[in-house]
């Protein structure tokens, strides 16, 4: 369970704060009373949740590149954070085929730069490195991947995330190991989640944003692979896991310094076709989606995580079923369409989620 009191006054450094997940995380941290410094490139989409919800209003926002270590190290040294959550990444599979150098550089060397810079900032006690469910070598089987499953990937994005996990492992054992570095060294862990959905995601070549854009234009959505199955979850679910993990790294140290999956239950593993049908129903349209005749690069058909470790050792578990998640997305988007204050709308979603969390 998340402890809201823990976060009051905590100095937290978030990379990737201008992205979809980073924006939700920073708004949540601000709501909890943390002192947040963000470091990231300019918002990656237009529109962006970062701008429409005025995320920078009550935090220190730095526009910078994690591949530029001197600037990153300077920002960390000035912020003197107690907790670091690394979310900066190139996060799109199809984009990675077109921009492999950028993908590998950001996802691998960005992680190296962050972990190396933290070594020289003694205020840091806990580091959460966010990677992806796609860090696992996909066997296209029905079982969920566990934290000790084989890493790897056939596309640049997946391979870069598998490599980022190897980087974390190497730094954990070489530089953040209390056995040879002392008990005061920061505790480092990785969090793995995927197919995160929610209001305010405007990324290209991602299913739910593509559907939302088409609905706002009142036109059918182009769908590549309606039979592909994914473990869908609301963005607040894994963010809740990352916050819980950061708390435990801070309070319990290296006992939690390992890899952690944050995935939804089996009931939330649905096909692309099911998702689009449900969103069309909730939006109230009666036209059909269209088949995209340009399939693009190959993508996996089936992928899911086993989150038993997080449930058993941290008490983390998903709170929103998939129909509720999709309802929240539609309500968020309808309020955006009506010109509402999206910072307040997003805060209301966070407050609603937090009201559900203690009900274990």
The pTM is what? 0.95
Return the residue matching tokens 């959505």.
Answer: 221
Return the residue matching tokens 């950061």.
Answer: 246
Q: ∠ CA 275-359-244 to the nearest 5 degrees?
A: 80
Range among 154-158, 164-168, 230-234 rated most confident: 164-168
- The pLDDT of residue 290 is 83
Compute the average pLDDT of residues 156-173.
Answer: 97
Inform me whether the pLDDT recorded for 39 exceeds 80. Answer: yes
Given a contact cutoff of 8 angstroms between Cβ atoms, the answer to whether 220 and 289 are in contact is yes
Least confident stretch, 193-197, 324-328, 347-351: 193-197
Nearest to 202 by CA among 301, 59, 342, 14: 342
- Domain 4-356 class, CATH top level: alpha beta
- Which band of pLDDT confidence, cut at 50, 70 and 90, is reported for residue 35? very high
Q: How far is CA 20 from CA 4, 17, 50, 174, in A?
A: 22, 8, 7, 32
Q: CB within 8 A of 28, min separation 6: which ones?
A: 236, 239, 243, 350
Query: How many CB atoms within 10 Å of residue 350?
Result: 17
What pLDDT digit, counting tens, does each position of 13-31 carry? 999 999 999 999 999 999 9
Q: CB within 8 A of 274, min separation 6: which ones?
A: none
Given a contact cutoff of 8 angstroms between Cβ atoms, the answer to whether 66 and 113 are in contact is yes
- Which band of pLDDT confidence, cut at 50, 70 and 90, is reported for residue 360? very low
Query: Helices (DSSP H) in 156-206: which residue ranges?
Result: 156-174, 178-181
- The pLDDT of residue 266 is 85
DSSP-assigned letters across all residues of 264-331? --GGGEEEHHHHHHHHHHHHT--PPPEE-S---S---SB--B--HHHHHHH-----S-HHHHHHHHHH
- The pLDDT of residue 300 is 66
Compute the average pLDDT of residues 78-94.
Answer: 95
What pLDDT digit, counting tens, does each position of 286-330 carry? 888 887 777 666 666 677 899 999 999 999 999 999 999 999 999
- The pLDDT of residue 296 is 65
Dihedral class, residue 121 (left if φ above 0, else alpha if ψ from -120 to 50, else beta): beta
Given a contact cutoff of 8 angstroms between Cβ atoms, the answer to whether 129 and 86 are in contact is yes
What pLDDT digit, counting tens, does each position of 238-273 carry? 999 999 999 999 999 999 999 999 999 888 889 999
Inform me whether the pLDDT recorded for 144 exceeds 80. Answer: yes
Ranges of each domain in the chain: 4-356
């Amino acid at each position: 369970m998340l402890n809201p009191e823990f976060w009051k006054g905590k100095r937290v450094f978030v990379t990737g704060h201008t992205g979809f997940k980073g924006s939700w995380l920073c708004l949540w941290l601000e709501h909890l009373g943390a002192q947040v410094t963000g470091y990231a490139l300019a918002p990656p989409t237009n529109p962006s949740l970062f701008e429409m919800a005025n995320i920078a209003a009550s935090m220190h926002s730095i526009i910078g590149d994690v591949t530029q270590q001197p600037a990153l190290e300077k920002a960390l040294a000035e912020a003197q954070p107690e907790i670091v959550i690394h979310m900066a990444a190139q996060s799109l599979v199809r984009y990675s085929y077109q921009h492999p150098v950028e993908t590998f550089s950001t996802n691998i060397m960005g992680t190296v730069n962050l972990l190396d810079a933290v070594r020289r900032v003694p205020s840091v006690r806990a580091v959460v490195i966010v990677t992806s469910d796609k860090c696992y070598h996909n066997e296209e089987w029905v079982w969920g991947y566990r934290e000790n499953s084989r890493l790897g990937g056939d596309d640049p994005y997946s391979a870069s995330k598998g490599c980022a996990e190897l980087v974390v492992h190497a730094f954990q054992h070489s530089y953040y190991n209390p056995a040879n570095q002392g008990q005061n060294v920061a505790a480092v862990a990785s969090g793995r989640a995927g197919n995160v959905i929610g209001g305010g995601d405007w990324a290209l070549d991602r299913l739910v944003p593509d559907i939302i854009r088409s609905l706002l234009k009142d036109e059918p959505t182009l769908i590549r692979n309606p039979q592909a199955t994914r473990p869908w979850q609301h963005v607040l679910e894994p963010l809740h896991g990352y916050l819980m993990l950061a708390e435990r790294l801070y309070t319990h140290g290296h006992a939690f310094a390992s890899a952690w999956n944050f995935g939804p239950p089996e009931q939330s593993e649905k096909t692309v076709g099911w998702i689009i049908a449900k969103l069309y129903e909730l939006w109230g349209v009666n036209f059909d989606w269209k088949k995209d005749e340009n399939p693009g690069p190959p993508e996996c058909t089936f992928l899911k995580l086993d989150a038993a470790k997080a449930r058993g050792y941290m008490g983390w578990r998903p709170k929103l079923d998939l129909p509720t998640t999709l309802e929240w997305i539609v309500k968020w988007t309808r309020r955006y369409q009506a010109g509402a204050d999206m910072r307040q709308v997003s805060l209301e979603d966070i407050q609603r989620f937090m009201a559900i969390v203690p009900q274990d």
